[in-house]
Structure 1
């Protein structure tokens, strides 16, 4: 019984820390955020934050890693899931985690996240293109770069405009653009 209580408290504490950090990160540069500010906003003491994270950089890194791992879990590596379904899962997750993605994509301070997201999408798409036996004269590395750039561009637009369309619509539109332009079959 005690273990469940500890697990819930740990989850609740990390959620409060993450939320406080993201609210601050949305407003100011990482270098200007202090552990005291995070602790105050999360209604915790500094020592509690240090129990979970080494410093604010570790906190940011773990947040990014956690969200990228979740996005990876939506990607079908064996190519059995239609791309539209993968896009839908990704857009739905981003909608659910709006605070994180708006903080990461809505600020000029988000270059670390953007570059890691770009690498993640590029690697995933390149692998899919190579496994799928490309029947186009376009180099797979260039196609993967194009797809990753286009996807991130649409994602940034969607988040910066407060998600004006539902995830289903975004996934459908992105797939249609790719299909129409023979980017991804």
Structure 2
């Protein structure tokens, strides 16, 4: 019984700078994403969608982000500007997970966002299960409306995260994890 939990017990993020080729091939990616979208979805709203960044598109995306960054922060250092420009070029594939919020629904927005977040987490789990590495990142670009426009997002859509995918180029040590005893309590009336 507990061996089935080993995937959850061993999963860890691989820094995007340490993700190289190969990314999942097209058939594997399709299977991974089909599995990832099987999430709890109160109201069957499907409050999410995915945008793929791959190949030269990643560099073009980073260049547009750098333009926004320097316009918004003219005193930004060259190092920070270069970091924004190259941020999406390390992993061979980036999947942008987008929350598509239905304001007219009885389902609270937080539940819709959590649904989209579950998609991002399922991509992480699925990638690990398939032997790939992944990292879920946000950063300022996830919250910037001009960046949302570049990605073709509508006003009711928001980036939940950029999931970087590829093959780990190094062995990543696990980090310290919190103790369950510090987190679990029992409610009594």
Q: Going by fraction, where is helix more abundant, 1 or 2?
A: 1
Q: TM-score range by the shorter chain?
A: under 0.3
TM-score normalised according to structure 1 size? 0.27
Q: Going by fraction, where is strand more abundant, 1 or 2?
A: 2
